Chains A and B, each alone.
Chain A
Amino acid sequence: MSGRDFLNITANTIEPQAAIAFVAGATQGAADFFIGTVRDHNLGRSVRGVSYDVFEELGLNVFKELATEARQRWGEKLNIYIEHYKGRLDVGGISILIAVSSPHRDESFKACRYLLEEIKHRAPIWKQEHYLDGDSQWVQGHALCSHGPATTQDEGHACHDHH
């Protein structure tokens, strides 16, 4: 029997407890969680918040593709929870939460990391940083293309993320 998905983009506060409850199950001996939050600095500038712009329709399709890819790699039994924030967050706010559970730990560790890295490269999401000096700036990112998994973590791109 295949695992279950919760895939969401929200303007509400992201609640980790909901993810813990969703991925739990009697067959799942392991669960791995990633929580991304807004950091108070980036590239030498003091950050007071970040606004997240999201193309929701395509974004949810990308999340669905990624869940399928994760199951192809690490097994059908994965339970997967992906939630990304849309709107403005202050420092410390949760921007993304990924939770994966599996019968054994290795699969959930790897799948969770995979989902995060692929979201950074493939999900139609943009960050605008707001600085203490009153300035704001869109963060440089990864150019999208129509192929599948990024597969490698290309550090040549200039996405200075918040985690």
Chain B
Amino acid sequence: MSQPIQLQIRLFGVFRKLHPSPVALTVATGTTVRAIKTALGLELQKLNGGIFKEQDLLAQSALATDHAVLEDGACLTENAQLAILPPVCGG
């Protein structure tokens, strides 16, 4: 059986309104980025009293470390600090 790993996920842009601090998730070792995004959506829904209207936005968003954006098919195998990044618009 896979050992759990602990994730801290920082929120940026439009996601900031959903929670004032990083969201903690516990998932199985080897969980894909895609599955982590799904778990994050469920957690944000729970944190917002069952209301989560940003499902489409979450699908368009990327998970990243401090160094790189992660592919949806990548697997995480150790504890990590991540960030959920909605579509960007710098400049």
Measured CB to CB, the residues of A under 8 A from B are 36, 52-55, 57-58, 61, 84, 95-96, 116, 119-128, 138-146, 157, 159, 161-163
Are B12 and A126 neighbours in the complex by a CB distance under 8 Å? yes
Chain B interface category by residue count: 20 to 34
B61 cross-chain contacts in A, Cβ below 8 A: 143-144
Q: List 23 A-B contacts (CB under 8 A).
A: A55-B85, A57-B66, A58-B66, A58-B83, A61-B66, A61-B68, A96-B91, A119-B91, A120-B91, A121-B88, A122-B88, A125-B91, A126-B12, A126-B13, A140-B87, A141-B88, A144-B62, A144-B64, A144-B85, A144-B87, A146-B70, A157-B87, A159-B89
B71, CB-defined interface residue at 8 Å: yes
B69 cross-chain contacts in A, Cβ below 8 A: 58, 144-146
B86, CB-defined interface residue at 8 Å: yes
Known interface pairs A53-B12, A146-B70. Does A58 touch B64 (Cβ–Cβ under 8 Å)? yes
Are B87 and A53 neighbours in the complex by a CB distance under 8 Å? no
A84 cross-chain contacts in B, Cβ below 8 A: 90-91
Which of these, A116, A128, A142, A146, contacts B88 with CB under 8 Å?
Answer: A142
